[in-house]
Amino acid sequence: MAIYEFEGRRPNVSDKAYVAKSATVIGDVSIGDNCFIAPGARIKGDYGTIIIKDNSNVQENCVIHARPGKKTEIGEWVTIGHGAIIHGANIDDCAVIGMGSIISDEAKIGRWCVVGEGAVVKNGQKLKEEKVAVGIPAKTIKSISAKYKKEWKAIKEEYSSFSRRYKENLKRMD
């Protein structure tokens, strides 16, 4: 894994987390227990602060950054889909950020909120908990169901288990 100090700003990665060798973590970044950081993810706390709490997963080719002196915070059990961009936002526990989504500065994503694939959450936009938002800009279209939560809880637990399983079972073949 590529983990770098920058101008005295050092990452703090739990030894229970998994960060892929091709992922990059720079500067003031905190990654909690049982987090899974997939190949190609870029998490850059060069002049802002990034906090990723326990059991969250950041999929392939995501970019996470923050403005100078600001914070990007990702709660517990959050899923950030492949290729998403998170910049200076706050994402509450259990949220699901769809593939290719963009979450802009000072946006707030509520607990168990779902941002659909390819959606754009504008600067400062607030999305309420347990809602589904889609489109450009993202607009709430419905509430999530108990069935959805149950299904996603199982998926989130699987991703959390990857933090251990990848360490134990990923083997290079060439």
SS3 label, residue 124: coil
Give the contacts of 174 (CB within 8 A, at least 6 positions apart). none
CA atoms within 13 Å, Cβ hemisphere of 143: 3
Determine the Cα–Cα distance for residues 25 and 10; give it in Å rounded to an integer: 9
Tens place of pLDDT per residue across the chain (174 aa): 699 999 999 999 999 999 999 999 999 999 999 999 999 999 999 999 999 999 999 999 999 999 999 999 999 999 999 999 999 999 999 999 999 999 999 999 999 999 999 999 999 999 999 999 999 999 999 999 999 999 999 999 999 999 999 999 999 999
pTM for the whole structure: 0.96
Domains in the chain (CATH in brackets) are 2-169 (2.160.10.10)
